């Protein structure tokens, strides 16, 4: 792995992507944008998983492709979450005629 | 040689997934039947038909869970009928195989089996409760989602590996997001569902990022392998380990959302209020139970070496964070509940407060001198809390069915109208406060006693302040529970009266009260069972990693199945030396209480495990 990109670059990139995603969740008001930000966070974790699998310590007992397989599972979960999330956002959009998360405030206290 | 080639999948492993398979298949069946009837029958008629079918499925799952639980027990006790029923190699399987299934990803021990029975019983109550009125017209979808959420809970309780844990956590919560939003004619149901979804998936992403860091640090996702790799850090805990601390914090935040601990609780009141009452009951009981078991598996098992540095609660280690979250959670939950007028919202804040008390038990279990058995107090608390809350949410369902609102004031005068059921509700509320002869009292007592059980002089970590705060909070909580009782017994009935409770509403209240009273009068049996269940959950089920190494003799199991989470220095040295050098010298140590261990009911009479344990005994019993 002599000329490879160092592991830390991947980790910085993943951490930055994760922070961007988290900021998006906290700051964006559009429900679709929040959903996209959540996807960015999940993908940041995926980058970590694949990078750690490539550069991490060799552990034959945890399988030949453990990090990659985990990442594929995460992609599946992310797809399921998007499907459910879009459905719920659509349901709310029909009631409020708005995709703004701040408008959904019929309950408080 | 690929690692998986060394250990072929035993097809008999599927036997232990019986209840999960039944529930999954029945979910599809209910969905299809409802689809077929959708155009012919009204919602109410479909509720009766499809709901009845679903309850048959629950019964079937209960039978399956009992069979899965009883067959290994009776085979191992040498029953001759069993030996005549099964082939020799099947019998041998029950004796010999390790207590984890599918390459060590899922626990298949008797204790996990008993939790499956508990989930099916609770699911039966919740589904029967939902037969009370038509809160949705999508009965097939609703029932299927509840079934699949239960499958997620069962597998989450059994998960012994982080990928499985993440996937099952998602299975559970994604089903619950959807069922929260299924009450389509009410606005707040959709709103509650969306809020639950957004908070829930952010928490999943945080948990996953923490998981990825932990995977990077250890190179594995098996809980036991992680624990072994972290053990050599010894008493340093987390000091100086920034990546480890980040991983622990992120995973804690992820779990904090799922169990609704402050400051990650914002979704809970809205989701609880918005969801249909049976779904709320299932979020508050089943999902909380499963999430707490998973939390304990990750923190008290895999990350136990990072618990504390052995000097103070606020030293490097996760116990300080848990203690602070616990203190804030119970205080905030109780004081916020005081201000609530809506019954479901009040119960939501009360469940937040209870999460705080339970976290005291988690913190206590990581420093208690009794090791994993201390986590039995937490499991006892969870079971008692679950039954009390199913009953309490049945009251909310009653209000919504008859009055379309669920304010506490709507209960006015119920004590004169339905004296028997009102007395049952009184008992449930008193148990949630923690009044002595009831199970809720013993739950709190055991948890707080574990926190004070610090006789070992090497472990001066004290949680006295947390216990004091917990007692203070119990007093505060009395005020809002008593408001329910005041409305029922001291207020005149309003103009709109509640109709009499039909079977679906009365049953959870009755069963909840029965459980609370029985396990309040005789708490020993449940406590013993739960302590026995905590041991295999939180110690290693099996040598997952090292038996697969082609070189070593396969007889080598885990080096030292120490029953205690807190290793003394002596034990730690023994573990390290056996990990590094003397591989193969120990004869097949198998953990007590696992698949070869004593049945749950008998385990409590076994002497409390202490010190370096003797090698296991189960191999000797092989016919």
pLDDT tens by residue, B409-455: 888 888 888 888 888 989 999 999 888 888 888 888 888 888 887 65
Flag if B194 and A31 touch (Cβ within 8 Å).
Answer: yes
The confidence score (pLDDT) of residue B279 equals 93
Query: CB of B579 within 8 Å of any CB in chain A?
Result: no
Reading the block at residue B556, the tokens are 């080598």
Confidence of residue B543 (pLDDT cuts 50, 70, 90): very low
Residue of B nearest to A8 (CA): B216
DSSP B286: I
- From chain B residues 481-510, the ones with a CB under 8 A of any chain A CB are none
Flag if A48 and B212 touch (Cβ within 8 Å).
Answer: yes
Residue B339 has pLDDT above 70, yes or no: yes
The confidence score (pLDDT) of residue B302 equals 83
Confidence of residue B92 (pLDDT cuts 50, 70, 90): low
φ, ψ dihedrals at B342, nearest 5°? -85, 130
Query: CB of A80 within 8 Å of any CB in chain B?
Result: yes
Confidence of residue B458 (pLDDT cuts 50, 70, 90): low
Give the closest of B174, B220, B548 to A81, CB-based: B174
Residue B150 has pLDDT above 50, yes or no: yes
The confidence score (pLDDT) of residue B239 equals 65
> If phi over 0 gives left and psi between -120 and 50 gives alpha, with beta otherwise, what is residue B611?
left
The average pLDDT across B267-295 equals 91
CA B581, chain centre distance (Å): 38
ipTM of the modeled complex: 0.94
CA B121, chain centre distance (Å): 14
DSSP B614: P
CA nearest to A34, candidates A44, A43, A24, A46 = A24
Largest CA distance in chain B: 80
Query: CB of B166 within 8 Å of any CB in chain A?
Result: yes
Domains, chain A, with CATH or none: 7-103 (1.10.287.3510)
The confidence score (pLDDT) of residue B315 equals 65
Residue B174 has pLDDT above 80, yes or no: yes
Condensed to tens digits (0 to 9), the pLDDT of residues B374-383 reads 788 889 999 9
Element (H, E) at B100: strand B100-101
Reading the block at residue B604, the tokens are 């409590």
Condensed to tens digits (0 to 9), the pLDDT of residues A28-68 reads 888 899 999 999 999 999 999 888 888 876 666 666 677 88
**What is the Cα–Cα distance from A22 to B213, expressed in whole angstroms?**
17
The confidence score (pLDDT) of residue B608 equals 37
φ, ψ dihedrals at B159, nearest 5°? -60, 135
Condensed to tens digits (0 to 9), the pLDDT of residues A59-85 reads 666 666 778 888 999 999 999 999 999
DSSP B619: G
Residues 6+ apart with CB under 8 A from A3: none
> Residue B25 in contact with residue B106, Cβ under 8 Å?
no
Query: CB of B280 within 8 Å of any CB in chain A?
Result: no
> Considering only CB atoms, which chain A residues are within 8 Å of B177?
84, 88
User: Mean pLDDT of all residues in chain B?
Assistant: 77
The confidence score (pLDDT) of residue B602 equals 37
- Give A72 or B364, the one with higher predicted confidence: A72
Which range is least confidently modeled, B30-34, B60-64, B111-115, B127-131? B111-115
The average pLDDT across B149-175 equals 91
The average pLDDT across B504-527 equals 88
Confidence of residue A3 (pLDDT cuts 50, 70, 90): low
Q: Is the dihedral of CA B393, B395, B397, B403 positive or negative?
A: negative
Residue of A nearest to B544 (CA): A61
The confidence score (pLDDT) of residue B455 equals 57
- From chain A residues 15-74, the ones with a CB under 8 A of any chain B CB are 18, 21-22, 25, 31, 34, 38, 41-42, 44-46, 48-49, 51-52, 56-64, 66-67, 69-70, 73-74
Confidence of residue B341 (pLDDT cuts 50, 70, 90): confident
Flag if B216 and A51 touch (Cβ within 8 Å).
Answer: yes
Confidence of residue B342 (pLDDT cuts 50, 70, 90): confident
**What is the Cα–Cα distance from B377 to B448, expressed in whole angstroms?**
9
Residue B318 has pLDDT above 90, yes or no: no
- Give A107 or B132, the one with higher predicted confidence: B132
Flag if A106 and B342 touch (Cβ within 8 Å).
Answer: no
Which range is least confidently modeled, A27-31, A51-55, B116-120, B531-535? B531-535
Flag if A49 and B215 touch (Cβ within 8 Å).
Answer: yes
Crossing angle (nearest 10°) for helices A66-96 and B187-218: 160
The confidence score (pLDDT) of residue B73 equals 75
Condensed to tens digits (0 to 9), the pLDDT of residues B429-439 reads 999 988 888 88
Give the closest of B3, B191, B204 to A60, CB-based: B3
Which range is least confidently modeled, A10-19, B10-19, B242-251? B10-19
Give the closest of B205, B225, B546 to A38, CB-based: B205
**Chain B contact probe: residue of A8, A30, A59, A78 with most B CBs at under 10 A:** A59
Considering chain B, what percentage of its residues have pLDDT values greater than 70? 77
Query: Taking CB atoms and an 8 Å cut-off, how many pairs form between chains A and B?
Result: 147
Confidence of residue B361 (pLDDT cuts 50, 70, 90): confident
Which range is least confidently modeled, A69-73, B97-101, B259-263, B476-480? B97-101
- Give B88 or B57, the one with higher predicted confidence: B57
**What is the Cα–Cα distance from A67 to B162, expressed in whole angstroms?**
12
The confidence score (pLDDT) of residue A64 equals 65
CA nearest to B357, candidates B453, B475, B270 = B475
Query: CB of B83 within 8 Å of any CB in chain A?
Result: no
Query: CB of B190 within 8 Å of any CB in chain A?
Result: yes
Confidence of residue B93 (pLDDT cuts 50, 70, 90): low
> Residue B287 in contact with residue B176, Cβ under 8 Å?
yes
Three-state DSSP class for B222?
strand
Considering chain B, what percentage of its residues have pLDDT values greater than 90? 24
What's the pTM?
Answer: 0.84
């Amino acid at each position: 792995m002599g000329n490879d990109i160092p592991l830390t670059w991947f980790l910085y990139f993943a951490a930055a992507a994760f922070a961007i995603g988290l900021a998006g969740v906290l700051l964006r008001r559009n429900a679709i944008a929040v959903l996209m930000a959540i996807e960015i966070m999940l993908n940041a974790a995926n980058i970590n998983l694949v990078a750690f699998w490539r550069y991490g310590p060799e552990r034959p007992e945890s399988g030949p492709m453990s990090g990659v397989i985990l990442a594929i599972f995460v992609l599946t979960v992310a797809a399921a979450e998007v499907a459910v999330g879009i459905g719920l956002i659509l349901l709310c959009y029909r009631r409020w005629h708005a995709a703004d998360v701040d408008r959904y405030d019929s309950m408080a206290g | 040689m690929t690692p998986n080639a060394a250990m072929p999948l035993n097809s008999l492993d599927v036997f232990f997934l019986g209840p999960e398979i039944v529930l999954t298949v029945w979910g599809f069946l209910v969905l299809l039947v409802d689809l077929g009837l959708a155009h012919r029958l009204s919602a109410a008629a479909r509720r009766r038909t499809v709901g009845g079918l679903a309850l048959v499925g629950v019964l079937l799952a209960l039978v399956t869970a009992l069979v899965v639980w009883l067959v290994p027990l009776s085979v191992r006790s040498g029953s001759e009928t069993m030996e005549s029923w099964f082939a020799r190699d099947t019998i041998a399987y029950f004796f010999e195989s390790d207590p984890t299934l599918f390459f060590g990803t899922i626990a298949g021990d008797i204790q996990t089996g008993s939790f499956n029975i508990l989930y099916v019983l609770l699911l039966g109550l919740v589904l029967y409760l939902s037969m009370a009125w038509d809160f949705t017209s999508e009965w097939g979808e609703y029932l299927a989602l509840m079934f699949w959420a239960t499958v997620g809970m069962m597998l989450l309780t059994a998960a012994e590996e982080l990928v499985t844990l993440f996937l099952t956590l998602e299975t559970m919560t994604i089903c619950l997001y959807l069922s929260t939003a299924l009450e389509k004619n009410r606005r707040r149901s959709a709103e509650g569902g969306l809020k639950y979804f957004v908070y829930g998936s952010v928490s999943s992403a945080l948990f996953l990022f923490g998981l990825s860091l932990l995977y990077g640090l250890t190179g594995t996702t098996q809980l036991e392998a992680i624990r072994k790799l972290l053990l050599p850090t010894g008493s340093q805990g987390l000091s100086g380990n920034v990546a480890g601390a980040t991983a622990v914090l992120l995973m804690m935040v992820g779990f904090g959302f799922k169990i609704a601990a402050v400051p990650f609780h914002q979704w809970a009141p809205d989701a609880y209020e918005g969801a249909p009452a049976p779904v709320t009951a299932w979020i508050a009981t089943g999902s909380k139970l499963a999430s707490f078991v998973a939390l304990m598996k990750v923190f008290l098992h895999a990350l136990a070496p990072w618990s504390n540095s052995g000097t103070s609660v606020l030293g490097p280690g996760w116990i300080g964070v848990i203690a602070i979250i616990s203190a804030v959670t119970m205080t905030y939950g109780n004081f916020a509940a005081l201000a609530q007028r809506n019954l479901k919202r009040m119960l939501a804040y009360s469940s937040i407060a209870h999460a705080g008390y339970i976290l005291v038990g988690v913190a206590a279990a990581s420093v208690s001198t009794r090791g994993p058995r201390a986590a039995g107090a937490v499991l006892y608390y969870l079971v008692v809390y679950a039954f009390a809350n199913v009953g309490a949410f049945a009251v909310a369902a009653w209000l919504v069915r008859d009055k379309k609102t669920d304010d506490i004031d709507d209960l006015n005068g119920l004590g004169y109208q339905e004296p028997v059921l009102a007395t049952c509700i009184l008992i449930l509320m008193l148990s949630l406060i923690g009044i002595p002869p009831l199970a809720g009292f013993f739950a709190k007592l055991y948890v707080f006693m574990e926190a004070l059980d610090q006789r070992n002089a090497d472990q001066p970590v004290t949680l006295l302040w947390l216990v004091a705060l917990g007692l203070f909070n119990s007093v505060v909580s009395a005020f809002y529970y008593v408001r329910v009782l005041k409305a029922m017994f001291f207020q005149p009935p309003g103009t709109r009266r509640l109709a009499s409770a039909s079977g679906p509403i009365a049953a959870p209240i009755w069963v909840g009260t029965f459980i609370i009273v029985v396990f309040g009068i005789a708490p020993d049996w449940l406590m013993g069972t739960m302590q026995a269940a905590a041991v295999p959950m939180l110690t290693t089920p099996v040598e997952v990693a090292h038996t697969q190494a082609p070189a070593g003799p396969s007889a080598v199991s885990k080096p030292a199945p120490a029953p205690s989470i807190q290793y003394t220095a002596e034990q730690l040295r023994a573990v390290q030396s056996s990990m590094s050098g003397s591989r193969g010298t120990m004869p097949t140590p198998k953990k007590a209480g696992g698949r070869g261990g004593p049945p749950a009911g008998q385990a409590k009479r076994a002497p409390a495990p202490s010190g370096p344990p003797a090698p296991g005994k189960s191999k000797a019993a092989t016919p």
